[in-house]
Structure 1
Amino acid sequence: MTPTAVDALIDLMARLPGLGPRSARRAVLHLVRKRGPLLAPLAEAMTEVAATVRDCVTCGNIATDPHCPICADPRRANGILCVVEDVADLWAMERGAAFKGRYHVLGGTLSALDAVGPEDLGLPRLAARIDDEGITEVILALNATVDGQTTAHYIADLLANLVSVTSLAQGVPIGGELDYLDDGTISAALKARRAL
């Protein structure tokens, strides 16, 4: 029913997070219909990204130069390093515009089931950055999953004698209603309570 090239594009699009076969078909059909204003520029942008984007050699963010803009900014060298699971988490932290230090992107979490160990996450490189960059505090901004918390505990033990290790607060989000929160979130909020 459809040309082979279109089927191949649908199959590739369906592999993207959040897109299944039906969504991929709709997206590809829209792109084909908007070939001039949308498909051609998208293809050019994807070609350029494929040719120029790489991992930052320092933190693991994506960049077009060896160092990302955050690592290249001397104002961000304030001795505070925020450890995140992946680039999407780094971008989320940056959207909040509250953190003014540097990052370390792990690229995943420790997982015995998936055979992901400390070397796979570049943890030796993280420990080396502590001395090289004069880091005084490491903030662990890892997801509140079993693997995320396992990784956080491992990193805290690894860096315990080198630097101050902190983590993001966990609990009730601003605007959150208790009735909609899961038991783990309520429990974490109770444990992290503070005086008003």
Structure 2
Amino acid sequence: MADYPPTVRDLLAALRELPSIGPRSAERLVLYLLEEADGTKDRLARTLQAVGTRVHPCTRCGFYAEEEICELCRDPTRDPLLWCLVASPGDVLRIERASAFRGVYHVLGRKLSPLEGVGPEQLPTSSLLTRIERELPREIILALGTDAEGEATALYLGQLLKKTGPRISSLATGLPAGGGLEFADSVTLSYALAGRREL
């Protein structure tokens, strides 16, 4: 029985590792790339290489950056004393699309998840605490989602961060129960930011 050459099989396997890409989707993408002649394949290869070598976490907040500090942290119109603590860089983009927040961010990188072996010891809080001590924020909004992991992480961090000095608040209700920020539309996120409550 005929099969693809080894290099094509490797590409199929790599594509299947991406979220939402199953065997058929991967095969459709590979067939398109093998047959296209408009330069998409070359542009995709160059762009993936550039992303792999040039994009890294911002040394200040953890969002995506090509320089040492990301564009959001360098923006002089933002309030550097108002922080939004999120679980992932994708959450930064979700909040930014709501156009309701003009402070800065801190990307925690993970949430508490006992089933995955992530307890309080595994949370990367040392960089957060060091940054708080250095920059002395006025308020930190915990925007970690309303799923069980997000709520548990917010509860734990709320207790930990209250000792550091800034006001600690969380997003208001209106976010879907049991879900992360990726399931909230920009209007709902905007209302949740405006109606945040102190912990």
Say if 1:79 and 1:136, in contact at 8 Å, map to a contact too: yes
SS at match of 2:106: strand
Aligned to 2:128: 126
Aligned to 1:189: none
Aligned to 2:91: 89
State the 1:167 CA deviation: 1.0
Aligned to 2:33: 31
TM-score, normalisation: structure 1: 0.82
Moved more, 115-124 or 39-48: 115-124
Aligned to 1:179: none
Give the letter for the 1:171 counterpart.
G
Aligned to 1:80: 82
Deviations 1:53-110 (A, max 9, x none): 1111111111111111111223224311101110111111111221111111111101
Say if 2:136 and 2:166, in contact at 8 Å, map to a contact too: no
Aligned to 1:154: 156
SS at match of 2:9: helix
1:37-76 to 2 correspondences below 5 Å: 37-76=39-78
SS at match of 2:60: coil
> Residues 55 and 119 of structure 1: is their aligned pair in 2 closer, same or farther, counting only changes over 3 Å?
farther
SS at match of 2:105: strand
State the 1:129 CA deviation: 1.9
Moved more, 123-132 or 40-49: 123-132
Gaps of 5+ in 1: 174-191
SS at match of 2:116: coil
CA distance in 1, matches of 2:131, 2:59: 12
State the 1:35 CA deviation: 4.4
Deviations 1:138-181 (A, max 9, x none): 111112111111000011001113211111122277xxxxxxxx
TM-score, normalisation: structure 2: 0.81
Larger RCO (alpha carbons 8 Å, 6+ apart):
2
Give the letter for the 1:169 counterpart.
A
Aligned to 1:188: none
Deviations 1:95-143 (A, max 9, x none): 1221111111111101222222345432122122223112011111112
